[in-house]
Chain A
Amino acid sequence: MAEITHYANKSILILDDMPEARSSLRSQVGMLGFERIAVSGNVKDALEQVRKSHFDIILSDYYLGEGADGQQFLEYLRTRGVIGRGVLFVMVTAEKRYESVVTAAECLPDDYLLKPFTSEVLKLRLGRLLEKKRRLANVDQLQDKGDWAGVVATCDRIIEAGDRYMVDAMRIKGNALLAAGRLDEAVVFYQLMLLERPLPWARLGLARALHQRGEHEESKKTLGELIAEAPQLMAAYDLLGKAHVASGDHDAALAVLDSACKISPNSLARHRAVANVAEEKGDFRRVEQAMDRVVKKTRNSPLRETRDIARLGNALTEVGEPARAVSLIGEALTNFKSDAEDPMLAAVETVAQHKAGNPDKAQAALARALRGDPGKLPAPAAMAVAKACLTAGRQDEAQGILRQLVQTHHEATDLHSRVTTMLREHGAGAIADTLVADSVGEIIRLNNDAVKVAKEGNLAQAATMLTEAAQRLPGNMQVVANAATALLFEVLHNGVDAAKLRQAQAFQKAVQAQAPRHPKLAEIAELLVMVRDKYTAAGQ
């Protein structure tokens, strides 16, 4: 049979907690001609296998017994970048009811297979899915590069061809328009789609575009219709929650997310979303409830995240139960040695120990929290470390961390107001107002100065200024992207400099890794092509 050669070079991982189901699936894929078959009975083992070797296809049951389910496994793999766009993930279920109970499109499996299915169906399905991956490989690459104009153009060609991938191309095109910030085009595109057929994803896309344009009322209206029509689509609740938060109505946001939790009680993402809103509102009882569920659900699972423990510990401290926070963190540190390396957890412990009346232990925890470079931490961890410093009376360190945090996220006004609130709550009201304004002002000035210097013709100086800033604030994507652009401009005008070219490409890589949808990536890619064209011709 032809299909034997077809699958012989493909590797497949089967994940099912039931031994009988596992051997069943194994024998089915064996009949299709797969030779590289790995089998796993639990998420922990599967995760190890996926990390160790590459699989083309993952065939996972939805039910995996105690602990994580197939959807949580997939969300973990995709959000952590353990598997790329190119890996096929097929969810096997005995019932259909789990479809669309998913937050983000990238966390959707490539397909669902409803048990029982015959080997014939499995063969047809896998064949088609692999064919689709091949056909859309080009689009995937452009997406990975963040070349949204390229994605839109390629999708337009597929849509024009009107073949079976037309609708996939439409979906991707809509996302690309949103990612590129071409919001007006996105609105028109989705509205036209909806005239043809009120597909849930098109309605969601329209709501996203309206949300990004700041039209929250319109967006809410669209989402209301969508939820009435497709109550299983979790992403709609998430966006509606965000819309409510954006218009300052945290209670409405919590109500929306609660109803989503009822429909999808197993989704960790949903409980974490509730905690996010409750944290912002300062309702730490709610944070505690939500995070307690997440921590319990993942206690002995490989999907356990140290950050969840930290958030729960923080909430317990905030509601006046630091002793419980201390024992929670103590348990984590005993059972998971690597948790001792986590600065956020150490920061939360600092505050908890302090409030529980153990200043020595608080000191020890703070020392662990400050062991690394706080400037490299993600925002929530940096905030926690700053808070620990403030609690321990180490004002200067706290201010240093917060200044860098604000400069790294100089456009995140919600973060800025959290920084201000935190400083006020810790008796640093005097600098609370100036710290944010000064830090942001510095970045804006830097960008303006660089532009001015460049316009005056001093491209080298502009590039140097931005490169220095980017090295100081590696998390500020705008600064890093501008540095890459400035370096490339300089090279383009002043001649090839291998070190500068390498630096520009390193900045480009950093943006691709941290913000794959950054609007400047397309310009950087174009500049690189121009640089290459100019200097390859000259024999470089």
Chain B
Amino acid sequence: MPVNRYESSGVPEPVQHFEDPRLADQHMAAGWDLVAYADGTATLDVQRDVEEHLDGCAPCTQAVAELRSLLLLMDLAQIGDDTVAGDTSHG
């Protein structure tokens, strides 16, 4: 029986978009890297393919939005670290 790690934390369980794991694989079958796309580092061909796919795929559209937000927050965390190190290490 699978463990529901959301139950104990009080966070609502996300909607199960991919009940069948093979469906998840199909979305990645073309070799797209949605993280690279969300990060802005994907090639033009991949960008076009992904955007064409996103037009008709709500789960992947949501995934890209989530990843874009996550990458932005990680950018901010990185900058924060640099600022702190720069401000304190050479005083």
Q: Do A and B bind each other?
A: no
Which residues of A approach B to under 8 Å, CB–CB?
Answer: none
Binding site for A on B (CB under 8 A): none
